[in-house]
Amino acid sequence: MEISTSLHCKDEEIKVKSCVTEKIIELTDEEYKSLCEDLMLNRNFISENQDLMYTDQRGIAHCILALGKSYDDGILINSEGYGYAKYYSVIPNARQLVILDKYPVLNSYIKRMSEVADDILSKAVAESSEGHREYEINIDECNAPGEPIVEPALLLDMLMDSGMIEDNILHSDSIEIILTEEAVNTRYRECYDANWSTELEIICAKHALWIYDVTGGERADFSNCRLENVNLSNCNLCGADLSNALFINCTFKDASMCDVNFSNSKFMNCNFTNMVAEGSYQFCAKYINCDLTNAYFTASNFKNAKIITSEMERTSFMNCCLENIMLEGSTLDRANTTNICYDEMKWNEDGAGQEMAIGGM
């Protein structure tokens, strides 16, 4: 966003003055440009309106507002009886303010349309994923009792103006949109790939210090992050936060990940061979085309998790909660399922869930 204004330097405080616009003066572009370039020059339009410009007993300044035909900004003037702009202030987007003052109903309409557009973009990004950028908008669901009616064509124009929409189809009762790849990635707080190996090593090193409560330690926080082609083999990430993160083609071989928060995370084509993640929180986690061979998830909570076309040879789910777990193209036949439980409440009552360190479960 670009605006024109004046910047002050090292003022101790912001001082503002209440002003009332008594009259709006429309100038030609040449007259407005001349006013901006020479504020001390006496001008007819100022002299002719001297009686409108003064400061009253309450300290309120009564002014005129000068607008240029092709300009969005304006100049507020209080001449205090003179023929030039003795007191002035540049008003960014003055013409828009004049329109909104003239037609107050537009304020509520703009506010409502902005709220709807922002809500749609937020939901579309939140529900998007790698390879799934489509989102459908039901116009009826955008309207609310007592609020201005949403205009579909204008809404679509606003969505396109956001720069987050790659393509669209406008129907009579709905709008289909496709997000840009950049928009999908905005759902992630940080994005890491193989080029970030040094930074990731530092994060893991600080996390190791955090585990042992050493000065300079900091818990590894990959929540709401996107990691692709990253190698975290042999790393000690016990107690780290991986919630709501996306991992693509990542390696966790022989990693220590006990008590890690995996909730709502998604792993695609990742290798977890020999990884140990005992007592981890796997609520709604998704494993797609992953290798979980000989991985240990003992006493972990997999409620509502999904494991799709993943290898689970000798994977340990001993003492795990598997309530509502979804298996597609995967089987527990060769996994260790000793003492698994399909009821989270019973699992917690039996004490298995109480050993987990992740809070808020």
Residue pLDDT, tens place only, 104-153 = 999 999 999 999 999 999 888 877 876 789 999 999 999 999 999 999 99
Which single residue is written with the structure tokens 């998704």?
286
Residue pLDDT, tens place only, 10-30 = 888 998 899 999 999 999 999
Which pLDDT score is estimated for 353? 52
Mean pLDDT score, 328-350: 93
Q: Two tokens at 272?
A: 């977890």
Decide: 169 and 108 in contact? Cβ < 8 Å.
no
Which pLDDT score is estimated for 130? 67
Query: What confidence category does residue 39 fall into, taking pLDDT thresholds of 50, 70 and 90?
Result: very high
Sign of CA dihedral 182, 185, 191, 194: negative
Which pLDDT score is estimated for 182? 85
How much of the chain, in percent, has pLDDT values that exceed 70? 97
Which pLDDT score is estimated for 206? 96
Residue pLDDT, tens place only, 81-107 = 999 999 999 999 999 999 999 999 999
| Helix runs in 4-55, H state only | 29-37, 44-47
Measuring CA to CA, how many Å separate 267 from each of 10, 78, 184, 261, 272? 51, 65, 17, 14, 10
Decide: 230 and 194 in contact? Cβ < 8 Å.
yes
Which pLDDT score is estimated for 356? 46
Which of 97, 88, 33 is closest to 64 using CA atoms? 88
β-sheet bridge partners, residue 78: 87
d(CA 279, CA 130): 29
Which of 184, 100, 115, 182 is closest to 155 using CA atoms? 115
Query: In CATH, what number does 105-185 get?
Result: 1.10.10
Which pLDDT score is estimated for 355? 47
d(CA 238, CA 240): 6
Model pTM score: 0.57
**Structural element, H or E, at residue 261:** none
Residue pLDDT, tens place only, 151-189 = 999 999 999 999 999 999 999 999 999 999 888 877 788
| CATH ID of 189-361, from 2.160.20.80, 2.30.110.10, 3.40.50.1000, 2.60.420.10 | 2.160.20.80
Which pLDDT score is estimated for 352? 60
Average pLDDT in the chain:
92
Q: List the end-to-end C-alpha distance of the chain, in Å, as a whole number.
A: 42
- Domain residue spans in the chain? 19-102, 105-185, 189-361
d(CA 166, CA 313): 42
Decide: 324 and 304 in contact? Cβ < 8 Å.
yes
Which single residue is written with the structure tokens 């509520």?
108
d(CA 318, CA 300): 8
Which of 154, 178, 146, 152 is closest to 165 using CA atoms? 178
Which pLDDT score is estimated for 360? 35
Decide: 74 and 3 in contact? Cβ < 8 Å.
no
Decide: 230 and 246 in contact? Cβ < 8 Å.
no
Which of 238, 242, 244 is closest to 217 using CA atoms? 238
Query: What confidence category does residue 357 fall into, taking pLDDT thresholds of 50, 70 and 90?
Result: very low
Q: Two tokens at 341?
A: 């439980």
Q: Are strands 74-78 and 61-68 parallel, antiparallel or unpaired?
A: antiparallel
Q: Two tokens at 164?
A: 């987050």
pLDDT at 77 over 80: yes
Which pLDDT score is estimated for 168? 96
Q: Two tokens at 92?
A: 């960014």
Contacts of 155 (CB under 8 A, 6+ apart): 113, 116, 117, 120, 137, 139, 142, 175
Decide: 65 and 94 in contact? Cβ < 8 Å.
yes
